[in-house]
Amino acid sequence: MTNGDVAIKIVGLTKYYGKFLAVDHIDLEVYDREIFGFLGPNGAGKSTTLLMLTTVLKPSDGTAYVYGYDIRKDPDRVRSLIGIAFQDPKLFWIHTPYEILIWHAKVCGYRGAEARAVVKDVLSMLNMWEARNKRAFELSGGMRKRVEIAKVFIQKPRVAIFDEPTAQIDVTGKHMIWDMIRELRDEGSTIILATNELYEADVLSDRVGIIYRGRIVAVGTPKELKDTIPGGDILEIQVEGGLSNGLVSRLEGYDEVSKVELVDSTVKLYLNRVEELLPKILEDLIKHGIRVKSVNMREPTLDDVFMHYTGARLKEEG
Amino acid sequence: MLDHLLLVIERDVRMLIQYKLFLIIRWLWYFLQVTIFGLAISYLVVVENYLFYYAAGIYVATLYSTAMFVAFDISEEAEHGFVDYLLSLPINRRVLIIGRAVGGGVRSFLATIPPLIFTLYIIGIRDVTIFVEASIGLLLLSFGVAGLGISIVSFLKSGDKTDILLGAIDAFIIRLSTVFYPKAFMPSYYSAPAAVNPLTHAAELFRWGLGIQSEGDPIFSLVVLMAFMIAMTTTGIYLYEKRMEGGGWT
């Protein structure tokens, strides 16, 4: 888990492609040893930001510091700390996964038998050992993606960047890769996870930054972000015989409750921090002689958070 | 840093070896050029031992076009987005580009060993030391041409434009040199550009190394090839850093 030290500090980072503003004066801090989810639809500026962080692209304005090293002034030092698995696998068509990864391992400082051992380990973990001698053009999309992310697991950099790591990968593979990413964080890497998959960002990220049209619109833990939506939690309580107007007014009186709807014998509350408030509400109802038949509660998703901050649905945008 | 340089060179060398068909075609092309075309022309021209002259010249042309192949590799890599990967690696950018220029040169030298052996077989070597000195010139030409290829592809940032321009350069640089014919037989508007053409200096140096008729001063040719290599590698580093890193590819 993070110790609160800043691993990456982004200051006014901006990128123009001609006249098109792809990344608009981003300010952001990513903490040491956290998994930071970078959430946004395709074309929001995620990949451009990551390419600037890895010194592949030069910023038009602003800069970023990776463990204190400026991406503009110390690009060599930055690249020695950072590793990236690109959104589109970067495999030269004629090479095999084994050749690609052995060369990559050597570039990352492994030698001879050590390089062969680490490549075998990582390819085996990713269920790619059998396919190691196929040429890149013979691999399926999911297999190529596995080879791409294998590069980061071999490198074990201080800052590991995964751009859409589980796109094109089956459900079992996704869980395996999420476990490997968590393990990498536990071993000391800071992780940036760029994704437009809400569930992935939710289950994997310690904090999430939402990027939309080149701007960071919200940053926080998934829970903090969900709690910022007024009345984002929904609590449905089915009772015997309905509720009096006085009791409805009493429920509306809680600070966390934004709205109460009564439909037949079901009361629907739009509120925040439902997990803290539920015991109090139930206690209140029981105290007033109301018999509760069932309780159903739903927290907002990150898509609701995205909708709240941008007015758009992430799935539609993606 | 040296480790990274060697890894970049090794990667480029291995890349060319994987294009087996390309290499076999190059070797066949060379063999047919010398045995059919060269032999036929040698009976038609007044230059003494023209077959030897032609075989040495056409070897230099083969070396040139093989060295230039690094530009096509980079162009193809860029179109597949592979350049982003290379730029993201913990390798100093200059080491990366110098490695590619040297790798492009070394591999073209290695890939043209069969034509070289065939050339030596038909011409022979009179003095091994002189031949080794001449070979250094050929290596310098290879590095310089690889640097030229990197410069062109980085400047144009387009696979199609690179194909067209390299085709045009290939047509002019080989014909406006002494690869096929001595300067004495050229009109002045041909011989002036030929005098500053690195292929002329490489071809003359190679012929000198083989002990057959050659024009010019071998030391001067070596200096020209050294200057060509330094200029092209420096330009390649500058353009690759400025243009490739700037993003975008058409």
Most A CBs within 10 Å: which of B15, B22, B83, B88, as the mutation test of the A interface? B88
Query: Rg (Cα) of chain B, in Å, rounded?
Result: 18
Question: Which of A50, A53, A57 has the most B C-beta neighbours within 10 Å, making it the best mutation to test the interface with B?
Answer: A57
Strand-pair category, A69-70 with A61-66? antiparallel
Predicted TM-score (pTM) of the model is 0.83
Burial per residue of B40-59, b for 16 or more beta-carbon CB atoms within 10 angstroms, e otherwise: ebbeeeebeebbbbbbbbbb
Residue span(s) of chain A under CATH 3.40.50.300 come to 6-226
**CATH 3.30.70.100 domain position(s) in chain A:** 230-299
Interface of A with B in 201-220 (CB under 8 A): none
Q: For residue A318, is pLDDT > 70?
A: no
Checking if the pLDDT of A2 tops 80, the result is no
- Which residues of chain B are within 8 Å of residue A94 when distances are taken between CB atoms? 15, 18-19
Q: What pLDDT score was predicted for residue A303?
A: 81
Mean pLDDT of B159-175: 88
Tokens of A2: 């993070």
ipTM greater than 0.85, yes or no? no
Q: Is residue B6 part of a domain?
A: yes
Rounded to whole angstroms, the Cα distance separating A229 from A225 reads 7
**If you average pLDDT over residues A25-41, what whole number do you get?**
94
**pLDDT surpasses 50 at B12:** yes
pLDDT at A112 over 50: yes
Of A17, A84, A91, the CB nearest to B88: A84
B80: which chain A residues are within 8 Å (Cβ-Cβ)?
90, 92-93
Question: Band of the pLDDT at B249, cuts 50, 70, 90?
Answer: low
pLDDT at residue B5 tops 90? yes
Inter-chain touch A92–B93, beta carbons under 8 Å: no
C-alpha distance across the termini of chain B, in Å? 32
**Cα-based distances in Å from B73 to A87, B14, B147, B162, B249:** 22, 12, 13, 11, 14
Contacts B92 to A, Cβ<8 Å: 76
Chain B nearest CA to A148, separation (Å): 10
Q: How far apart are CA B136 and CA B219, in angstroms?
A: 11
Q: Which two tokens stand for residue A310?
A: 């941008």
pLDDT digits (tens, 9 = 90+) for A115-143: 999 999 999 999 999 999 998 889 998 99
Provide the domain limits for residue B183: 2-244
Give the list of residues 6+ apart from residue B132 with CB closer than 8 angstroms, or none.
Answer: B209
> Can you give the pLDDT at residue A272?
84
Closest residue of chain B to A75, computed from CA coordinates: B92
What pLDDT is attached to residue B189?
Answer: 83
B113-123 and B20-32 helices cross at what angle (nearest 10)?
Answer: 20
pLDDT tens digits for range B119-139: 989 888 878 888 888 889 999
pLDDT at B47 over 90: no
pLDDT band at A317 (very low <50, low <70, confident <90, very high): very low
For residues A14 and A48, what is the distance between their CA atoms, to the nearest angstrom?
10
CATH number of A6-226: 3.40.50.300
Q: State percent of chain A over pLDDT 90.
A: 54
Residue B144 is predicted with a pLDDT of: 93
Looking at residue A316, what is its pLDDT?
Answer: 45
Residue B9 resides in a domain: yes
Question: Is residue B233 predicted with pLDDT exceeding 70?
Answer: yes
Answer yes or no: is B250 within a domain. Answer: no
Going by C-alpha positions, the residue among B235, B228, B233 that lies closest to residue B205 is B228
Task: Please provide the average confidence, as pLDDT, over all residues in chain B.
Answer: 87
In one letter, which amino acid is B210? L
Q: Is residue B152 part of a domain?
A: yes
Q: Which residue has the higher pLDDT, A216 or A91?
A: A216
CB contact under 8 A, A79 and B18: no
- Average pLDDT for A64-82: 95
Q: Give yes or no for A67 touching B (CB within 8 A).
A: no
- The domain total for chain B is 1
pLDDT at A63: 96
Please give the C-alpha separations between residue B142 and each of A291, B204, B230, in angstroms, as whole numbers: 89, 15, 12
Cβ neighbours of A95 in B, within 8 Å = 18
**B25: burial class by Cβ within 10 Å (0-12, 13-18, 19+)?**
exposed
Contact A14, A21 (CB under 8 A): yes
| Interatomic CA distance for residues A214 and A40, integer angstroms | 9
Mutation to test the A interface, candidates B7, B89, B245, B249, most A Cβ within 10 Å: B89
| Minimum CA–CA partner of A106 in chain B | B7
- Tell me the average pLDDT across A73-99: 91
Q: With respect to residue B249, please indicate whether it lies within any of the assigned structural domains.
A: no
Distance CA A303, CA B235 (A): 50
- Picking from B82, B247, B248, the nearest residue to A92 by CB comes out as B82
Does A93 sit within 8 Å of B88, measured CB to CB?
Answer: no
pLDDT at residue B80 greater than cutoff 90:
no
Mean pLDDT along residues A180-209: 92
Binning pLDDT at 50, 70 and 90, where does residue A3 land? low
- The pLDDT tens digits of the residues spanning A275-306 come to 888 898 888 888 888 888 899 888 878 888 88
What's the rounded mean pLDDT across residues A97-112? 94
Residue A261: both structure tokens together: 């709807």
Q: Would B85 be classed as within a structural domain?
A: yes
Architecture of domain A230-299: 2-Layer Sandwich (3.30)
| C-alpha distance across the termini of chain A, in Å | 30
Distance from CA of A82 to the nearest CA of B (A): 8
